[in-house]
Structure 1
Amino acid sequence: MNNKITESTAASKSAPPLGGGGGVGDSVQVFAPATVANVVCGFDVLGFAVNEPGDEVIMRVTDKPGITISKITGDDGRLPLNPEKNTVSVSVKHYLQSIGRADIGLDIELHKKMPIGSGLGSSSASTVAGLFAIKTLLGDDSDPIKLLPFAIKGEEMACGHGHADNVAPALFGGFVLIRSYEPLDVVRLPHPKGLYCAIVFPDVDVPTREARQIIRNKIYMKDAVTQWGNIAGLVSGLFMGDIDLIGRSMHDVLVEPVRSMLIPDFYKMREIAMQTGAVSFGISGSGPSVFAFTKDEETARQITQKLQKHLTGIKIGSQAYVSPINDAGPRVL
């Protein structure tokens, strides 16, 4: 993967015709995974993909130019069918315009297989699935990194801020560092193969826009130094395969102290997770989902069970997922 990208070179100016040149015909179904962004200390610059949950997009070629959305499931009626207001269709439209194929007719079905507002990159999974679907229909086997600027446009529509720490790992798979936004420069990081992630999504509402608004605009230098050290330690631990160093480095003195107030019993859940064998614990994205890294799958499952039991005890429902880091990213179903 080319680790650098700029908007001006994001997309080729030509593409194979639909249904030919290595494409899959007139329809395709694509899955794109959920992601954990920030990874505690890496606000807006770190993220990784997991195996589940995720979203699915079915895309079909139509005779009439333009994009329509004929069906959305799993969203409880919360997402717009209007193609001018849906992140999937908007990002696909920008991509087609960039390659001179705005005349294409497409129909989109979006099947939400993951909770909205979970802090697990729900909008990112949908957007990436749509972009990967059109790329597949075009028979375009070039590097998927050219889709990243268009996925970021979808994020900007979804939450008002065009960050890449969800869409980049959803698109590429694995663990991703956003080194720079201007120009856009992403790096796919290695990770220990034995690293597992335990995720619990409490049934509470933490809107992404509001979660961003409560973050401080100014910080103390000593806090910045602490944060830099932790980010460097986390990246070093990933390269070295040192899970203990990863765990020691995953501390956030800037964002988590504020956002944790929006998540019921956050620190009690962290205590439970760490006592059960987690090497780290934190907020996934803007929350309310929380996650823990572990050295094996069984420990991850024990953590999700205990956290769900605790949430049930305070009358909060939840969903749980256990996964290694997903290196595949989106895939054709």
Structure 2
Amino acid sequence: MSTNNETKQAIAKPGDSIKVHAPGTVANLVCGFDILGLALNEPCDEMEIKIIEEPKVIIHHNDNYNLPLEPEKNVCGVALLAMMDKLDHKFGFELTVTKHIKPGSGIGSSAASAAGPVVAANKLLGNYFSNEDLVQMAMFGEKLASGVKHADNIAPCIYGGITLIRAIHPLDIISIPAPPMYVTLVHPQIEVKTSDARQILKKQVLLKDAIKQWGNIAGLVAGFIKSDYELIGRSLEDVIIEPVRSILIPGFDDVKAQSKEAGALGGGISGSGPSIFMLSKNEKEARAVEVVMKDIYEKIGIEYYTYVTTINNEGVKAIGN
């Protein structure tokens, strides 16, 4: 628990409940592997959480993904158990989840599952914990899902907008301002597990590739801050991760090339895939990119979903009952 909360009291009233939307996220943003991410306005998961007297976590799923209900085996449950540890197990939580972000989609399904419950519970506790505390708890869920504690999806899901993870130990999260942009995504209905996508990555990289990657990351962050669309487009290049992971995604090269021809600033693999995202300056270009994506996957013959959305600057948010 952060020092600024040490004198606060967790306000817990059994029976109190809240509903939230937990947004999908795009991690890496092409060149920023494990350090950059943004939150989306669509898609999002729906969750309702209630404080209960008994110190345990009860999970209900209103979806067809057959996710485990045992808290220790569920991404939502692991995050809430981490919160209960901080609260000395004085009470528990009952959680009902309706997932709209398919697991293994590359759009931050596990991050939404991990972040949504702890943010919702924290609202019921009178915002007892800081956002940084919540990220730390939610990262236990990401570790269960992928085997690694990473925050590039968790941070934007909780903070909203675009975030930079400068460091994990100690955790250092920076919110990055950005100009208005549209995000077009295509989600081919195949699964790429994050753990599998990590295993195929090279353990060592050439210095010249590292230098080029550092330049792109710095250029992308500078482009966001300066609202320089051209710089953003030039910096959306990955010479380390994408060349390896893209072979797992049918049609990737065509989607990327033809989307840029249709007006996109650029883009690439969303998280570990299989979803692909493209950034555009306006809705007209974003819709043109969606047409390109649909055409390519219709020809390949793979079922897919597409989204045209914008950056979510709130993160997990409460919704009406």
TM-score for both structures, normalised by structure 1: 0.92
Q: Distance in 1 between matches of 2:5 and 2:101?
A: 29
Question: Partners in 1 of 2:54 and 2:129 — Cα distance?
Answer: 27
What is the RMSD of the two structures over their aligned residues, measured on CA atoms?
1.7
Unpaired runs of at least 5, structure 2: none
State the alpha-carbon separation in 2 of the partners of residues 123 and 298 from structure 1.
31
CA distance in 2, matches of 1:243, 1:9: 40
Alignment of 1:249-260 (within 5 A): 249-260=235-246
Q: Residue in 2 aligned with 1:4? A: none
Structure 1, gaps ≥5 residues long: 1-6
Q: Distance in 1 between matches of 2:92 and 2:149?
A: 27
Paired position in structure 2 for 1:51: 41
Kept after mapping to 2: 8 A contact 1:13/1:99: no
SS of corresponding position for 2:71: coil
- Give the 3-state SS of the residue equivalent to 1:316 in structure 2: coil
Q: Residues 127-206 of structure 1 correspond to what in structure 2 (within 5 A)?
A: 127-140=114-127, 143-193=130-180, 195-206=181-192
- Match of 1:241? 227
Partner of 1:17: 11
Q: Which residue of 2 aligns with 1:65?
A: 55
Instruction: Indicate the SS of the match to 1:215.
Output: coil
1:87 aligns with 2:81: no
Asked if the contact 1:10/1:145 (under 8 Å) is kept, the reply is no
Deviation at 1:265, TM superposition (A): 1.4
- Secondary structure class of the residue paired with 2:315: coil
Classify the secondary structure of the residue corresponding to 1:56.
strand
- The residue number in structure 1 matching 2:268 is 282
Q: What is the CA-CA distance between 1:309 and the residue it aligns to?
A: 2.1
Aligned-pair identity (%): 41
Count of residues paired in the alignment: 319
In structure 2, the residue matched to 1:99 is 87
Matched, 1:226 2:212: yes
Distance 1:174 1:143, change over 3 A: same
Deviation at 1:122, TM superposition (A): 0.1
CA offsets per residue over residues 56-85 of structure 1, 9 Å max, x none?
21112234331111x2122431x1001111
Give the whole-Å Cα distance in 1 for the aligned partners of 2:19 and 2:178: 29
| CA drift at 1:10 | 9.1
What is the match of residue 3 of structure 1?
Answer: none
Indicate conservation of the 8 Å contact 2:9/2:128, yes or no. Answer: no
Q: Give the conservation status (yes or no) of the 8 Å contact 1:11–1:147.
A: no
Q: For 1:10 and 1:165, how far apart are their aligned partners in 2?
A: 24
SS of match in other structure, 2:72 = coil
- What secondary structure, in the 3-state scheme, does the structure 1 residue paired with 2:101 have? coil
Residue 8 (structure 1) shift: 6.6
Q: Cα offset for 1:11?
A: 6.5
